[in-house]
Structure 1
C-alpha cells in the first residue's frame, strides 16, 4: 500500500471528544475545510457507521476504522487520530458489542474496493503490541506519522 494517503495535517494527537458523533463532527469539518471530502461526507460517514460499525476488537487496543463511499472523497487520505480519552465504539458486524477506542483511522478512498488491502495491512499492524504502544507514547505529529509510515506493508508500492 502506498504511503501517500498519510498527511501530517490530518494527524490528530489527544483529540478531545465525548463520543463518536463529536469525533465525526470535528474531523469532518476539518476534512471539508482542507479539501479532502465534499460537504455530504459527514452525513454519509455517520449513516454508514450506524449501519455498518467499524470498531475492531484488536489487541492490545481496540481501533475504529470509519470510512464512506468514494463519491464523497476529493483526495484520498488516512486521518490517524489518537484520542485524549477512549470513547465507546460499536464492533464491526455487530449492533450491541462496544469497545473503548482510543485510536481511530478514518479512511478516504477514491476507488471501490480500494480499502480491502489497506484494511488487511492495518488490522495486522494494529495487533502489534510494540507498534501500538509506540503510537500511544508518541509526543508529536511528526513522530506519530513516522510510526505509521513504518508499519509493515505501508511503503510498498502496489
Structure 2
C-alpha cells in the first residue's frame, strides 16, 4: 500500500478543515477536539492530553519550503481512529528537533490513532509525503475537504 493510501484510509471528511486560521495551538486543538468529540472519535480526555503532549513533545517540522505539524496523543483518548487535517492555519508550533524554535505550520495533521504500531507506520508515511514539496503545496492550495481527500488517492 502506498504512502498516500496509508494516510487516506484514516482521513475523515468531517475532520478536514481547509483554510482555517487559528491564533494558537490551543485554539486549533480545542476546535478539533470539540468536533471530534461531537462525532464520537475521542473521549473527554483528548483535549487535555493533546495539549499536554504538545507542550512536552512538540511536533512542528520545518521542511525545505514550509512548516507542518503532526500533533498526536495517547491511544486511550481515541474511540475511533482518524486523521484530522487543517490547512493554512499559520499556527505557531514548537519544533520537534529544537523546541526552543517555532515553526509556522501551514498544514497540520492531527493523528487520532489507538494502535501504536499503526501510528509509527503512519508517521513514516507522512514523513515520506512531506519530502514532496509539490504535494504539500497541492494540499495547502485545496479549497475543499473533497479536494484534499482526492490528493491522497494513489
Q: Could you tell me which residue of structure 2 aligns to residue 5 of structure 1?
A: 10
Helix, strand or coil: the match of 1:15? coil
Check conservation: 2:82, 2:112, Cα contact below 8 A. yes
Unaligned 5+ runs, structure 2: 1-5
Check conservation: 2:19, 2:143, Cα contact below 8 A. no
Of 136, 149, 152, 2:153 maps to 149
Q: 1:87-102 maps to which residues of 2 (within 5 A)?
A: 87-102=91-106
Q: Could you tell me which residue of structure 1 aligns to residue 63 of structure 2?
A: 58
Measure how far apart 1:3 and its partner are. Answer: 3.2
Find out whether 1:122 has 2:132 as its counterpart: no
Check conservation: 1:16, 1:83, Cα contact below 8 A. yes
Measure how far apart 1:102 and its partner are. Answer: 1.1
Deviates more, 1:111-120 or 1:12-21: 111-120
Check conservation: 2:7, 2:125, Cα contact below 8 A. no
Helix, strand or coil: the match of 1:133? helix
Once residues 71 and 59 of structure 1 are traced to their aligned partners in structure 2, the CA distance between those partners, rounded to angstroms, is 34
RMSD: 1.4
Residues 56-77 of structure 1 deviation map (CA, whole Å, 9 limit, x = unaligned): 1122211100001110000010
Q: Could you tell me which residue of structure 1 aligns to residue 83 of structure 2?
A: 78
Q: Residues 87 and 78 (structure 1 numbering): CA distance in 2 closer, same or farther, change over 3 Å?
A: same
Q: Could you tell me which residue of structure 2 aligns to residue 111 of structure 1?
A: 115
Unaligned 5+ runs, structure 1: 151-158
Structure 2 length-normalised TM: 0.90
Helix, strand or coil: the match of 2:44? coil
Structure 1 residue runs of 4 or more that deviate by more than 2 Å after TM superposition: 1-4
Of 131, 138, 148, 1:134 maps to 138
Check conservation: 2:17, 2:86, Cα contact below 8 A. yes
